Amino acid sequence: MTTSRGGLQPRKQPRQARAELTRERILTAAAHVFADHGYAAGTTNRIAERARISIGSLYQYYPNKDAILAELLARHLDAVTTATRRRRDDGLPGSLEGAVRDQVRAVIENHRHDPHLLRVMFEQAPRSPELLERISHHEQELIAYVQELLENSPQARVDDSYVAARLVVTTVELVVHRLIAEPDPVDIPRLENELVAMLIRYVTNAPEAAAGP
């Protein structure tokens, strides 16, 4: 869902510690409300009640629930991007399997804290041009990281490292996002192991993966 930029911008940027604490209370309360009640029932009244502030105080910071949800999503993306840069700065892992496992595990960790909130954020959060640009930038950083892994690993056997990197990033994000938030979620260690095995067979072109029926 896309929307105009104006309706998603916070109204008040905190300049004092007390104001910053109030904004954090609103965002924390909103995260619980959206996770517990979903997007449609996650009203500003419920958020204000959970944050223990008046609805008028909430509207001093955010014009509507869409702006709150958009900021939660932006913060999530910023945290993931920071973690990706940190892993990249630490250097490439010694083995391709270790690198793929590291990427899969990082995505799982990003989702397992509150998968229901993430489902609301990614599937129902409004999309301003600014937020869409941030999402695109986040994806491109992940793709560049995985492409570098593939191009520097003698074990990798892919014809097109860029397309392969996009496939890896998209597969991990979609599979983890879908299976962790299910009513009957897949066991985390089993999900990690099977997903890593699937991706390694693909990027190394292992005989058992390439063989026909």
Each residue's pLDDT expressed in tens, for the chain with a length of 213 residues: 444 444 555 555 556 778 889 999 999 999 999 988 888 899 999 999 999 999 999 999 999 998 998 888 888 888 877 877 787 777 666 788 988 998 898 888 887 777 778 778 777 777 778 778 888 888 898 899 899 889 999 999 999 999 999 999 999 988 988 888 776 778 899 999 999 999 999 999 854 444 444
- CB 3 within 8 Å of CB 128: yes
Give me the DSSP letters along 82-150. HHHHHHHHT---SSHHHHHHHHHHHHHHHHHS-HHHHHHHHHHS-B-HHHHHHHHHHHHHHHHHHHHHH
What pTM does this model have?
A: 0.74
Helix (H, G, I), strand (E, B) or coil at 160: coil
Q: Residue 155 phi/psi, 5° resolution?
A: -80, -25
